[in-house]
Amino acid sequence: MNERHQDRLELLDRVADRVPELDLEKQSVEWTTLDDGHDALLVNGGGIDGGSGAYFANAGEDLPAVGLLDSIVPGHIGCIVIRPDGSRVLARAVPDPLAT
């Protein structure tokens, strides 16, 4: 198995373990490569260009989730870091310019 495939499987496992409320089988998912060369899992469009989704990427032992943060900070977009113990730290949030 190549390294890229292994990294993707690790990311899927982390999402399943740390975000159990997110059923990936019921979501629209696809892969993309970030500017730094790492793969990211786009969920429901990945929240790119003001969309309603988010994306997940590996960052050391942490799992950042970037995009719409409505479930934690209503009306905001930003980044949450999900640590190995499952705790969630709000890294950054800004008002969603498309929120009504």
pLDDT digits (tens, 9 = 90+) for 25-66: 888 899 998 888 888 999 888 776 556 788 899 888 999 988
Q: How many CB atoms lie within 10 A of CB 93?
A: 15
Domain extent at residue 48:
3-95
| Distance from C-alpha of 100 to C-alpha of 82, rounded to nearest angstrom | 28
Task: Quote the number of domains for the chain.
Answer: 1
Distance CA(60)–CA(52), nearest Å, equals 26
Q: What pLDDT score was predicted for residue 49?
A: 59
**Confidence category of residue 1, pLDDT binned at 50, 70, 90:** low
Please tell me the distance from the alpha carbon of residue 47 to that of residue 59, in angstroms, as a whole number. Answer: 19
Share of the chain above pLDDT 70, in %: 90
Q: Which residues is 32 bridged to in the sheet?
A: 40
In a domain, 66, yes or no: yes
